[in-house]
Amino acid sequence: MLEENKAARLIAKACLEEKAGDVLILDVGHLTIIADYFVIASGRSVIQVRSIADNVEKKLSEHGITPLRRDGHNQGTWIVMDFGSVLVHIFRQEERDYYQLENLWGDAHEVALEGSPQ
């Protein structure tokens, strides 16, 4: 099993491979018991949102990791994938703008992505 931080980064990388927009990793471990990290990403269409989720699942399965739960794949507007200590939220851009999940967790520390200047 990958450590949580590495799993979150692998998920973010898998999102970026499918051209996800505005990918971020939030360290929420000190704010909630439901997860240590949230990975949030956006797609431009239902098809892209599903493709991003499918790639995340594929890349993690290569490391022997499968989601405990997955919801929203049929609708494709907001897919949530539960990898235990890492929750993945993949939104269609309209839903992300509406729900503003990252603002709800405004006290969370944003983890820099590889190659990011943060």
Give the model confidence (pLDDT) of 52-85 as tens digits. 999 999 999 999 999 999 999 999 999 999 999 9
Give the chain's mean pLDDT: 92
Structural domain of 26: 4-111
Find the CATH number of the domain harbouring 30: 3.30.460.10
pLDDT at 117 over 70: no
Q: Give the other-Cβ count within 10 Å of 117's Cβ.
A: 5
By the 8 A CB rule, do 104 and 98 touch? no
Measured CA angle at 54 (ends 51, 58), to 5 deg: 135
Largest CA distance in the chain: 36
117 within some domain: no
84 within some domain: yes
92 within some domain: yes
> For residue 116, what are the contacts with CB-CB under 8 A and spacing of at least 6?
none
> For residue 102, what are the contacts with CB-CB under 8 A and spacing of at least 6?
24, 26, 40, 108
Number of structural domains (the chain) is: 1
For 23-45, what is the mean pLDDT? 95
116 within some domain: no
118 within some domain: no
